Amino acid sequence: MTFPETVPYDHGMLDTGDGNLVHWEVCGNPGGKPAVVVHGGPGSGAGPSWRRFFDPARYRVVLFDQRGCGRSTPSAGEATTGLATNTTHHLMADMEQVREHLGIAKWLVFGGSWGSTLGLAYTQAHPDRVSEVVLFSIVTTSRAEVDWITEGVKVHFPEAWAEFRDAARPGEGERLVDAYARLLADPDPAVREEAARNWCRWEDTHVREPGARLPGHFGDSRYADPAFRMTFARLVTHYWRHAAWLEEDQLLDGARELGRIPGVLITGGQDLSSPPDPARALADRWPGCELLVIDDAGHGLGHASMSAAAQDALDRFARY
C-alpha cells in the first residue's frame, strides 16, 4: 500500500543556460533522506503518483520533469522546439544542476522504464553522488531493445503491429522508429498528429498488464490528450532512434563498477515491452545487486507485487 499523496514544499524552474527551463519540486521531510525520481517515457513527466512510494516522514523527495515534457519548457510537443540539446547527457547534467542547487551531497535514485536507463547512466557517471538505486521495468535502450519493442514484439500483437507499420509507410530498409520520427517532423500538422496518435496506440498495446490485453480495454488515459501524445511520441522516437546516445553495452559494462552502491532491480516476468533479460544481465555484472522478478507482472508498477517490491526497497533504504 502506498503512502498518502504529499504536497511539494518547494519548487522552481532550473535555467539550464541553453534555452531550456526544467521544472523541479521537493516534498516530504526537509531533513529526510534525499531521493530523486527519474520518470519514464521519455516524455511522461513526473506526475504526483511518484510521491506516494516514499514515506514522507523519512524521505526528502526531488522530482523533475525532463527537458521538453511535463511542466518544463519549451515543450517538445511544439513543432518549433528543436531537440538538439535534448539528449541523455543533457538530462544527466540537469540532474546534477538540480542536486547542486538543492545542496544535496548524495541521493537515492528511483526510476522505471526509460527512467531506468537514465538512472543507470547517471549513477555510472556520478557514483559518488548516489547512495542507493531502486529501478523497475529495466531497459538499457540499446538498438536491439528498440528493434524488439517496435518490430520484434509483433509476434504477440500481429494485427496491431501491422496497423502500426502500415501507418508509418517506411521506406526501403527504414526502421520504424526512424519512419515515425520523420512523420513527427512533417510540416503538415495533420501528418504529425496522425503519427503521434498511431505511435501512442502502439505504446498502449505493448505495455498493458497481461490480464488487461483484452478487446475494449481502456488504456493509458494520458494518450487522450493531443498535447501529451505529441510530446511523448516526439521524445520517445528521438531517444530511441539514437539508442539514448550510449555506446553499445555501455550500461552493462559500467555495472561492474557499481559494487559499492546498493541496488534493487525489479522486473515483470510477463513484461513484453521490457523483457527481464537486461535486468538479469545487469544483476550478473553488478556485485551485490538484488534482482526481483515478479513472475506474473507486466510493465510498470500497476501490478500489486511490483508496487510492493518497490516500496519495500525504498522503506529498507530509508533506514540507512
Set 90, 206, 238, 299: catalytic member: 299
**Is residue 49 annotated as part of the catalytic site, yes or no?**
no
Set 72, 113, 142, 307: catalytic member: 113
The three-state secondary structure class of 306 is: helix
Backbone dihedral angles phi then psi of residue 146, each to the nearest 5 degrees: -65, -40
Please answer whether residues 276 and 265 qualify as being in contact, where contact means their C-beta atoms are separated by less than 8 angstroms: no
Which residue shows C-alpha cell 517515457?
41
DSSP E strand boundaries for 54-129: 59-64, 107-113
Q: CA separation (Å) from 239 to 42, 141, 146, 248? A: 7, 8, 10, 15
DSSP 70: T
Burial class for 252, CB neighbours closer than 10 Å (0-12, 13-18, 19+): middle
**275 Cβ contact partners less than 8 Å away, ≥ 6 residues apart:** 148
**Is residue 101 annotated as part of the catalytic site, yes or no?**
no
Would strands 263-268 and 290-294 be described as parallel, antiparallel, or unpaired? parallel
Set 271, 273, 274, 307: catalytic member: 271
CB-based burial, 89-112: b 16+ in 10 Å, e otherwise: ebbbbbbebbbeebebeebbbbbb
Q: Report the candidate in 55, 25, 29, 59 with the shortest Cα–Cα distance to residue 39.
A: 25
Backbone dihedral angles phi then psi of residue 112, each to the nearest 5 degrees: -150, 160
Please answer whether residues 266 and 229 qualify as being in contact, where contact means their C-beta atoms are separated by less than 8 angstroms: no
In whole angstroms, give the CA distance from residue 134 to residue 256: 17
**Is residue 113 annotated as part of the catalytic site, yes or no?**
yes
Catalytic residue numbers read: 113, 271, 299
